[in-house]
Amino acid sequence: MLMNLEILFNFCMVMGVTIAISSNNWLMIWLGLELSMMSFIPIMSKKSKLNSESCIKYFIIQSLSSSIMMMGVIMMSIWTSNMILMLSVLLKLGVSPFHTWVVSIIEGMEYYSIFVMLTLMKLSPIIMLSYLNNNFNLFIILSLLVGSISGLNQNSISKIMGYSSIFNMSLILSSVNMQEIWVTFFLMYTISLVLMNYLVLKLNLNFINQMMMNNFKMSTKTCCWFTVLSMGGFPPFMGFFGKLLVIKFLMTTNQFLVTFIMIMTSLIVMFFYTRMVVMSIILFYNIPKWLTMTKMNFNSFVIMVSLILPFILFNLKSL
Residue 3 domain flag: no
The share of the chain scoring above pLDDT 90, in percent, equals 28
Q: Are 103 and 159 a contacting pair, CB within 8 Å? A: yes
Residue 25 domain flag: no
Q: Which of 82-91, 233-242, 251-260 has the lowest mean pLDDT?
A: 233-242
Q: Are 35 and 21 a contacting pair, CB within 8 Å? A: no
Residue 198 pLDDT: 85
- The type of residue at 7 is I
CA distances, 291 to each of 151, 220, 237, 257 (Å):
27, 18, 32, 48
CA 86 to chain centre: 20
Q: CB neighbours (10 Å) of residue 130? A: 17
**CA–CA distance, 44 with 75 (Å, rounded to integer):** 33
Q: What confidence tier does 1 reach under pLDDT thresholds 50, 70, 90?
A: very low
Residue 40 domain flag: no
Domain hosting residue 133, numbered range:
45-316
Identify the CA nearest to 148 among candidates 171, 169, 166: 166
Residue 4 domain flag: no
Residue 299 pLDDT: 61
pLDDT at 64 > cutoff 80: yes
Higher pLDDT, residue 202 or 18:
18
Phi, then psi, of 262 in degrees rounded to 5:
-65, -45
Q: pLDDT (tens digit, 9 = 90+) per residue, 165-184?
A: 999 999 999 999 888 899 98
255: helix, strand or coil? coil
Rg (CA), the chain: 20
Residue 33 domain flag: no
Q: pLDDT (tens digit, 9 = 90+) per residue, 107-118?
A: 888 888 899 999
**CA–CA distance, 269 with 261 (Å, rounded to integer):** 12
pLDDT (average), residues 260-276: 89
pLDDT at 295 > cutoff 80: no
Residue 9 domain flag: no
pLDDT (average), residues 181-192: 90
Q: List helix spans (H) across 94-119.
A: 100-106, 111-118
Q: pLDDT (tens digit, 9 = 90+) per residue, 65-102?
A: 999 998 988 888 888 778 888 999 999 998 888 888 98
How many folded domains does the chain comprise?
A: 1
Residue 204 domain flag: yes
Residue 28 domain flag: no
CA 315 to chain centre: 25
Q: What letter would DSSP give residue 156?
A: B
**CA–CA distance, 220 with 200 (Å, rounded to integer):** 12
